[in-house]
A and B are shown apart, each in its own frame.
Chain A
Amino acid sequence: MQPPPREPILEFHDVTVAYGRRPVLWNIDLAIDEPCLFGIIGPNGAGKSTLLKAALGLVPLAGGTVRFFGQPFAEVRGRVGYVPQRETVDWDFPVSVSDVVLMGTYARLGWFRRPGPQEREIARESLARVGLADVAGRQIGKLSGGQQQRVFLARALAQQADVYVLDEPMAGVDARSQDLIFGVLSELREAGRLVVVVHHDLPTAAQWFDRVALIDMRLVAAGPTAAVLTPQNLERTYAGRLDLLDELGRAVEERGRTS
């Protein structure tokens, strides 16, 4: 007997999203079958973050379906870790770094149960992985932007998920934090996890991601990074912004030489 065909890890089928009556994403068809570092790339206002939020049920779909492991997101939430944009929260909020990371364990704990030694151990390990073990007790507003982003990543690690979804994790982040975050994401891929990252910077996208999707309200192209980030595709996505394209051409060449 044939084994059943494997479901894609993440699949968008004909997804359309509208804010009010204004559509921001049209007929997105995208399937990711293998664990990898997957970049969602496009200009500002292209709907990249909206696509992630639609996948996580945070904005309603005007049409189409999203499936994780062949199931609706609500059925498999526990297998999906989420890193929202850093600016969406108030960093003056009176919680410590380890308090925030512990929030990654709350869904598994359920109603009214408080984190115990096991959860604290998970939080400690997650913080150590992003290099923040020594600031665990600090109030979150006292960290740098890059450290704050790593706190969010640690919280997602504490979710112990199979798929990680990150919204602009490299925005406004110092070089050391970028390297650290990219290192952790690579480890996740080696451990067989799918990592989906919304990213706006083309040169680094060409270096970091195994596969990318180019999006500008519609899906322009998707596939292996080198095959997708071609001048023609980029022209269609970033119509008329050629200086950007030159920069990217150099970055792609450099990647070709180093790998």
Chain B
Amino acid sequence: MTAPAGIEPLFAISHNTLVVACGVAAVGCGAGVIGCFGVLRKRALVGDAAAHATLVGVALAFLATGRRDLPVLLVGGFLSGLAALGVLVLLRVCTRTRDDAATAIVLSVSFGLGITLVSGITARGIPGGAGLEQFLLGHTAALTTADAILLAAVSAAAVLLLVLSLKEATLIAFDSSFAAATGWPVAIMDYFLVALVAVMVVVGLPAAGAVLVTALVVIPPVAARQWTDRVPTMLLLSGVFGLASALFGVAVSAVVPRLATGPLVVLAAAFIFAVSFVGAPERGWWARHRRER
């Protein structure tokens, strides 16, 4: 029996596909864990600004090296993400633009710049440049084993750093003025937490793309919050939700060719969110509805 055209048989999963799936699952897990502090510190959109800005760095890194080498492109993306966050801070401090407006400006302008660069590269037919638009929506099928291992290692390192400083991060996210009065360097810790989010956004690019990767650091934490009243449990659940979403995206896009991974990951996360929002004990809509009756 032959498989229908366009769909590979499920059992022919290659070694590479398996490694890539594991790597992307690790990224989803890490993004879920790190994202918790973006959400708890009420900075959910900051990651989005960084994410949209990564495209500029990816394109510039490609232009500079002339190769589509994932580590190099991601370093470029990370640097331009950080630069965007720097501009965000400057806008706020120097022009007194409000937070939401500043975020929207940085996000749209840097994304516009990134798209211009990427489409320019594609239009001029620079060899190897055709694959760059995969960073827009995510495309895991193109990942190599080495790429996947790198992504997983960076995610693991980010999670390790956060878990080590969990006490400090929780204190600052909950009550920054008490933290400052008792001698903790609140500004430095804030930068550290935002930088961790930027790292996860960058390693999440192959899985979800610049447009959607923010969903990986926002949706799993918000869903996890529904089920628990403790930060450590929230981190754990959020990691599991992120992992499951990423795995779903990788699996479906591996089986159905030319389907971008990012939208699938986001849809899976949204499904988990919907279930959590309705069905979680105590905080869920259904439980609250029953209590009110």
Contact = CB atoms under 8 A, between A and B. Distances in A.
A171 to B, nearest CB: 16
B231 A94 contact: yes
Interface string A43-77: 00000000001001110000000000000001001
B183 interface: yes
A84 B225 contact: no
B231 A58 contact: no
A103 B231 contact: no
Contacts of B180: 56-58
Interface residues of B, number: 24
A14 to B, nearest CB: 22
A112 B175 CA distance: 18
A17 B184 CA distance: 23
Contacts of B100: none
A180 to B, nearest CB: 21
B174 A89 contact: yes
Nearest to B282: A139
B230 A57 contact: no
B182 interface: yes
B177 A106 contact: no
B182 A94 contact: no
A100 interface: yes
B165 interface: yes
Contacts of A94: 40, 225, 228-231, 234
A111 to B, nearest CB: 7
Given A94-B225, A95-B231, A139-B229, A107 B182 contact: yes
Nearest to A55: B181
Interface in B1-52: 40, 42
A119 to B, nearest CB: 11
A82 B234 contact: no
Contacts of A90: 42, 174
A93 B182 contact: no
Nearest to A82: B181
B203 to A, nearest CB: 25
Contacts of A159: 182
A93 B174 contact: yes
A112 B165 contact: yes
A88 interface: yes
B15 to A, nearest CB: 39
B93 interface: no
A111 B180 CA distance: 14
Contacts of B133: none
B234 A112 contact: no
A22 interface: no
B258 interface: no
Contact of B167 (A53, A93, A106, A139): A106
Interface in A66-118: 74, 77-78, 80, 82, 84, 88-90, 93-96, 99-100, 103, 106-107, 109, 111-115
B174 to A, nearest CB: 5
A63 B292 CA distance: 55
Given A106-B167, A111-B168, A112-B164, A96 B178 contact: no
B181 A106 contact: no
A77 B165 contact: no
Nearest to A56: B181
Nearest to B234: A94
Given A95-B170, A112-B165, A106 B229 contact: no
Given A106-B171, A112-B165, A139-B229, A93 B40 contact: yes
B170 to A, nearest CB: 7
A82 B182 contact: yes
Given A82-B178, A84-B181, 20 more contacts: A58-B180, A74-B183, A77-B182, A78-B183, A84-B177, A88-B175, A90-B42, A93-B40, A94-B40, A96-B229, A99-B170, A100-B174, A103-B178, A106-B182, A112-B164, A112-B167, A112-B168, A114-B167, A139-B229, A159-B182
19 contacts: A53-B177, A56-B181, A57-B181, A58-B177, A77-B183, A82-B178, A82-B181, A88-B177, A93-B174, A95-B174, A95-B229, A96-B230, A99-B230, A106-B168, A106-B182, A111-B168, A112-B164, A114-B167, A115-B167
- The 4 nearest A-B residue pairs measured at CB: A139-B229, A107-B182, A56-B181, A82-B181
